[in-house]
Structure 1
Amino acid sequence: MRKSKLLIVIAFFSIYVIWGSTYLLNKVAVTEISPLLLASIRFFIAGILIMVIAKVMGKSLTITKNQFVNSIIAGFLFLVYGNGIFVWALKYVDSGFGALLAATQPLFVLFLMRLIDGKRMQKKSIIGVCLGVFGMYLLVSQKEISTSEGSILGIFMIFSSVLSWSYGSVFVSKANLPKNHLVSTGYQMLIAGVLLTVFSLLLKETWSSPLNWSVKTQTSMLLLILFGSIVAFTAFNYLLKAVSTEKVATSAYVNPVIALFLGWYVLDEKLTLQSIIASVILLTGVYFITSRKKISKLKVTTKPQKI
């Protein structure tokens, strides 16, 4: 019991802090590497390493046809579209700003649960949604953003990637996937790596050798593979089975704080007063959504573990 609680704490630290730093790392890497290529390299290498680790630990790599199909769906929702498109959008928006847009995930999860499970909204949820929508409006309505080249497209694509990730969270919490979290994560990443490579080739992205990357970009990629992919994503998969989907979504109001600070401190990204006010309102809305009392146990929380 104590070991389980400790794992949950460590897992939450991973998705809170490590994932908060990945916005900065992706922003640094995408300045030199084509976005889909970046994601494909990251996930394919991470997937191989995870499978090797699982095999060394004596875990079975066996997967059923149904689990494989579900892994393809999950890998696409989370990593191909949810992450690949998000990284692409970082070419047009600041890392901290992108993180704030990603903070809308609990709103999307709430709406999807309403549509899929028919779960009615509580008063706190309604307040949270109103605050979240108002915060988003303040965030994206700034002149500095609306007049910058490509920013509107970047914002739209980030929202679509957040929707994909949110639906993936709901899907995975119910899906039949390999019980071992390492094996499940490994399959998703390998599948995503292959799909992203295909899309990168179809879109004729520019490919470059890692030997030609700057040290800063090489370091960013290494950290993204080891910590952002292997450690944090495995922790994320574990938490989706160990706790409710909504609790996992609370990372959405911790990640932006980490990302905003790192973007400002490392990349000298600008923080306007309106952005700060918008972020406070938006994250307060997220808090209302994720802190409300549960009326009844959700179907998505009945399974003891996740992919």
Structure 2
Amino acid sequence: MKSSKLLIIASFFSIYVIWGSTYLLNKIAITEMPPLLLGAVRFGIAGVLILLIAKLLNQPLKISKRQLLNVSIAGFLFLVYGNGVFVWALRYVDSGFAALLASTQPLFVLFLLRLIDGKKMQRQSIIGVVLGLVGMYLLVSQEKIATSEGMILGIFMIFSCVLSWSYGSVFVSKANLPKNFFVSTGYQMAIASVLLFFWSQIFGENTEVLFTITPKVQLSIVALIIFGGIVAFTAFNYLLKVISPEKVATSAYVNPVIALLLGWYFLDEKLTTQSIIASIILLTGVYFITSRKRVAKTKVTSSQKT
């Protein structure tokens, strides 16, 4: 029982701190690595390792043509566009600020479910949406954003990535995918790696930098692969099996706080009073949205455990 509690604590540390630190790690990595090439390397290695883990766990790697198509679509929405373009946008946006923008995903999912499935919003969801919109407005209306070169473009692209990730979440909830999480994620990462490398070459990214990156960037990439990908992902799935889904969902409003603090401490990113107020309002809105889905999340989780 004691070891189980320690494992739960370690898993929460993983999805809170490790996932929250990926914004910082990506920001460090793209100082020397082109963003699309970074994604290709990161997801290629992580995908192969995850598929090896699945094989060691005696999970069948064979999938149907329909499942292959679906994991390809999911890989594009989540990792090629949702992550690859997001990391590209970090060239123009602070890591902590980007994490706050990414925390609006539950709001986007809510709107998509309303458009696609016609689901009515509960009162608690409406409160969350209003707070989320107010928080977003306060974030992006700051004077420094309008005067910073590339900042508006970066913010727009991040929101498009959040939309892609959100649609991916809705798509995955309905799609025929491999039942095992490792198999599904491994294929998504492997396919995304190939696509990212292809687009990396189309946009003329220099692959020779792989041989000249500094130890600091190398460590960032290794951390993204091992901790940001495999460890945190495994911890996330473990928690979904032993802890209620709404508690696991708290990572949606803890990650941005971790990212803000790490960006401020390690990269000297500035925290304005307006950003702090906006983040509190925005994350409160996210809390209202995520906490109202207890029944729905339980149903989704139970189907994914198999």
TM-score (norm 2): 0.90
Q: Is the 8 A contact 1:170 1:300 kept in 2?
A: no
Q: State the partner residue of 1:106.
A: 106
Q: Is the 8 A contact 1:181 1:234 kept in 2?
A: no
Q: State the partner residue of 1:126.
A: 126
Alignment map for 1:229-248 (pairs within 5 Å): 229-235=229-235
Q: Is the 8 A contact 2:245 2:301 kept in 1?
A: no
Q: State the partner residue of 1:142.
A: 142
Q: State the partner residue of 1:304.
A: 303
Q: Is the 8 A contact 1:185 1:233 kept in 2?
A: no
1:244-274 deviation line (CA, Å, top 9, x unaligned): 9877654221110000010011111110111
1:9 and 1:172 map into 2 onto residues whose CA distance is: 28
1:157-181 deviation line (CA, Å, top 9, x unaligned): 0001011111111221222211121
Q: Is the 8 A contact 1:210 1:218 kept in 2?
A: no
CA-CA distance at 1:276 after TM superposition: 0.4
1:244 and 1:202 map into 2 onto residues whose CA distance is: 44
SS of equivalent residue, structure 1 residue 160: helix
1:51-98 deviation line (CA, Å, top 9, x unaligned): 122222322111111111110011011100110010000000100000
1:12 and 1:304 map into 2 onto residues whose CA distance is: 22
SS of equivalent residue, structure 1 residue 218: helix
Residues 124 and 232 of structure 1: CA distance in aligned 2, closer, same or farther (over 3 Å): same
SS of equivalent residue, structure 1 residue 82: helix
Structure 2 runs not aligned, ≥5 long? none
2:277 and 2:259 map into 1 onto residues whose CA distance is: 16
Q: Is the 8 A contact 2:15 2:251 kept in 1?
A: yes
CA-CA distance at 1:115 after TM superposition: 1.9
Q: Is the 8 A contact 1:245 1:301 kept in 2?
A: no
Alignment map for 1:207-222 (pairs within 5 Å): 207-222=207-222
| Identity across the alignment (%) | 71
2:110 and 2:104 map into 1 onto residues whose CA distance is: 10
Q: Give the counterpart letter for 1:124 in structure 2.
A: Q
**Superposition CA RMSD, Å:** 2.8
Q: State the partner residue of 1:56.
A: 56
1:74 and 1:233 map into 2 onto residues whose CA distance is: 16
Q: Which moved more, 1:10-19 or 1:158-167?
A: 10-19
Q: Is the 8 A contact 2:92 2:154 kept in 1?
A: yes
Q: Is the 8 A contact 1:242 1:304 kept in 2?
A: no
TM-score (norm 1): 0.90
SS of equivalent residue, structure 1 residue 63: coil
Q: Which moved more, 1:224-233 or 1:4-13?
A: 4-13
SS of equivalent residue, structure 2 residue 204: coil
SS of equivalent residue, structure 1 residue 201: helix
CA-CA distance at 1:110 after TM superposition: 1.0
Q: State the partner residue of 2:152.
A: 152
Q: Is the 8 A contact 2:18 2:232 kept in 1?
A: yes
Number of equivalences: 306
CA-CA distance at 1:185 after TM superposition: 1.0
SS of equivalent residue, structure 2 residue 92: coil
1:171 and 1:243 map into 2 onto residues whose CA distance is: 24
Q: Give the counterpart letter for 1:59 in structure 2.
A: Q
Q: State the partner residue of 1:35.
A: 35
SS of equivalent residue, structure 1 residue 110: helix
1:290 and 1:171 map into 2 onto residues whose CA distance is: 18
Structure 1 runs not aligned, ≥5 long? none
Q: State the partner residue of 2:46.
A: 46
Q: State the partner residue of 2:21.
A: 21
Q: Is the 8 A contact 1:239 1:305 kept in 2?
A: no
Q: Which moved more, 1:272-281 or 1:116-125?
A: 116-125
1:207-241 deviation line (CA, Å, top 9, x unaligned): 23433111110000000011112223455567789
